[in-house]
């Protein structure tokens, strides 16, 4: 039964990661719309989108933490719970980088001749790619370690 429960929790984790991906898509879409409203930015509309996406991220994170708690406790899989802790750290980092990138994109748009904002956008994109790769690696490790125990 423990193996079945672990499998079910990891299936739910995949669904939650899908919800995160959709939230990022909505956030990006909202930011594109916001940037296209220049020079009189429609901040209230963008703020509403950010609020909705933040609620999704909070709900997903809470559920991931509950899954990690079950893996650490009743299911006696602290190794898998550790992957989820690392995943949460990287997801937090991804969200922070995404917010920084959005601000940098606005600065770059407002100052198209400035080299500094363009460079900042490139650097943040690179950091974001590295973070996304790290998240993929953690999910791969999680999958491998969960199958290894079956």
SS3 of 84, please? helix
The mean of the pLDDT values for the chain is 94
Inter-CA distances, 99 with 94, 105, 138, Å: 9, 10, 22
Question: Could you tell me how far CA 120 lies from the centroid of its own chain?
Answer: 20
Residue 108: in which H helix or E strand, if any?
A: helix 78-110
Least confident of 5-9, 15-19, 28-32, 113-117: 113-117
pLDDT value at 149 more than 90: no
Contact, 71 vs 87, CB < 8 A? Answer: no
pTM of the model: 0.91
pLDDT value at 148 more than 90: no
Chain segment 99-127, per-residue pLDDT in tens = 999 999 999 999 888 889 899 999 999 99
What is the residue extent of each domain of the chain? 2-148
Contact, 108 vs 117, CB < 8 A? Answer: yes
Q: Nearest to residue 56, comparing CAs of 17, 28, 90?
A: 17
The CATH fold of domain 2-148: 1.20.120
């Amino acid at each position: 039964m423990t193996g079945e429960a672990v499998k079910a929790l990891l299936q739910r984790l995949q669904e939650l990661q899908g919800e995160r991906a959709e939230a990022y898509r909505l956030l990006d879409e909202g930011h594109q719309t916001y940037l296209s409203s220049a020079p009189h930015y429609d901040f209230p509309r963008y703020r509403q989108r950010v609020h909705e996406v933040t609620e999704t991220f909070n709900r997903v994170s809470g559920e991931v933490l509950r899954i990690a708690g079950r893996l650490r406790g009743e299911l006696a899989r602290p190794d898998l719970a550790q992957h989820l802790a690392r995943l949460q750290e990287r997801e937090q980092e991804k969200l922070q980088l995404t917010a920084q990138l959005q601000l940098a994109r606005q600065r770059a748009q407002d100052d198209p001749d400035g080299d500094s904002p363009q460079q900042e956008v490139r650097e943040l994109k690179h950091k974001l790619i590295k973070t996304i790769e790290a998240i993929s690696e953690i999910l791969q490790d999680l999958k491998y370690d969960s199958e290894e125990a079956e």
